[in-house]
Amino acid sequence: MSEAHPAEPTEFTYVSSREATDLVALDDRYGLWIDGTFRTPTSKRYLTTVNPATEEPLAQVAEAGERDVDRAVRAARRAFETWGRLPGKERAKYLYRIARMLQERAREFAVLETLDGGKPIKESRDVDLPLVAAHFFYYAGWADKLEYAFPGIRPRPLGVAGQIIPWNFPMLMLAWKVAPALAAGNTVVLKPAETTPLTALAFAQLTAEAGLPPGVVNIVTGGGETGAALVRHPGVDKVAFTGSTEVGKLIQKAVAGTPKRLTLELGGKAPHVIFEDAPVDQAIEGVINGIFFNQGHVCCAGSRLFVQESIADRFVDKLKRRLSTLRVGDPLDKNTDIGAINSPEQLDKITELVDSGVEEGAEIYQPPCRLPERGYFFAPTLFTGVSQSHRIAQEEIFGPVLSIMTFRTPDEAVEKANNTPYGLSAGVWTTKGSRILWMADRLRAGVVWANTYNKFDPASPFGGYQESGFGREGGRHGLLPYLEGVPR
Partner 1 sequence: MRVDVRKTYKLFIAGGFPRSESGRSYPVADTSGKVVARAAAASRKDLRDAVRAARGAQPGWAGRTGYNRGQILYRIAEMVEDRADTFVSQLRVGGRTRAQARREVERSVDRLVWYAGWGDKFVQVVGNMNPVQGDFFNISTPEPTGVVGIIAPEEPALLGLVSRVAPVIISGNTAVVLASERLPLPAVTFAEALATADVPAGVVNILTGPKDRLIPYLASHRDCNAIDAWGHGWEGLAEIEAAAADSVTRVVRPPRTVDWTNERLAQSPYMIADFVEIKTVWHPKGL
Which stretch, 12-20, 37-45, 57-65, 248-256, contacts partner 1 (CB under 8 A)?
Answer: 248-256
Q: Least distance to partner 1 from the beta carbon of 23, Å? A: 26
434 binds partner 1 (CB under 8 A): no
Here's the x/- map for partner 1, 250-269, by CB under 8 A: it reads as --xx-xxxx-----x-x---
Which stretch, 18-26, 87-95, 401-409, 458-466, contacts partner 1 (CB under 8 A)?
Answer: 458-466
413 binds partner 1 (CB under 8 A): no
Q: Please say whether the dihedral angle defined by the alpha carbons of residues 311, 312, 318 and 322, taken in this order, is positive or negative.
A: positive
485 binds partner 1 (CB under 8 A): yes
Q: Which of 266, 217, 263, 265 shows the shortest CA–CA distance to 480?
A: 263
Rg (C-alpha) for the chain, rounded Å, is 23
Which stretch, 172-180, 214-222, 295-303, 435-443, contacts partner 1 (CB under 8 A)?
Answer: 435-443
User: How many positions of this chain bind partner 1 (CB under 8 A)?
Assistant: 49
Beta bridge partners of 187: 160
Give the phi and the psi of residue 23 in degrees, each rounded to 5: -70, -25
**Residue 8 annotated in active site:** no
Here's the x/- map for partner 1, 118-157, by CB under 8 A: it reads as ----------------x---------------xxxx----
Q: Which of 19, 108, 265, 467 is catalytic?
A: 265
Which residue, 170 or 423, has its beta carbon nearer to partner 1? Answer: 423
375 binds partner 1 (CB under 8 A): no
Give the phi and the psi of residue 32 in degrees, each rounded to 5: -95, 140
Distance, in Å, from the CA atom of 363 to the CA atom of 365, rounded to the nearest integer, reads 7
Of positions 270, 445, 479, 483, contacts partner 1 by CB under 8 A? 445
Of positions 27, 147, 154, 459, contacts partner 1 by CB under 8 A? 459
438 binds partner 1 (CB under 8 A): no
**Window 335 to 364, contacts with partner 1 (CB under 8 A):** none
Q: Least distance to partner 1 from the beta carbon of 266, Å? A: 7
440 binds partner 1 (CB under 8 A): yes
Give the phi and the psi of residue 187 in degrees, each rounded to 5: -115, 160
Which stretch, 165-173, 332-340, 404-412, 446-454, contacts partner 1 (CB under 8 A)?
Answer: 446-454
Distance, in Å, from the CA atom of 474 to the CA atom of 180, rounded to the nearest integer, reads 8
Q: Least distance to partner 1 from the beta carbon of 55, Å? A: 36
Which residue, 304 or 472, has its beta carbon nearer to partner 1? Answer: 472
Q: Least distance to partner 1 from the beta carbon of 459, Å? A: 4
Of positions 192, 380, 463, 481, contacts partner 1 by CB under 8 A? 463
Q: Least distance to partner 1 from the beta carbon of 144, Å? A: 19
299 binds partner 1 (CB under 8 A): no
Beta bridge partners of 233: none
Q: Which of 287, 297, 351, 350 shows the shortest CA–CA distance to 322?
A: 287
Q: Which of 19, 63, 299, 473 is catalytic?
A: 299
**Residue 363 annotated in active site:** no
Helix axes 245-255, 224-232, angle to 10 degrees: 30
Of positions 398, 449, 479, 483, contacts partner 1 by CB under 8 A? 449
Which residue, 335 or 460, has its beta carbon nearer to partner 1? Answer: 460
The residues assigned a catalytic role are 265, 299
Binding site for partner 1 (CB under 8 A): 134, 150-153, 245, 248-249, 252-253, 255-258, 264, 266, 421, 423, 436, 440-441, 445-452, 455, 457, 459-463, 465-470, 472, 475-477, 485, 487-488
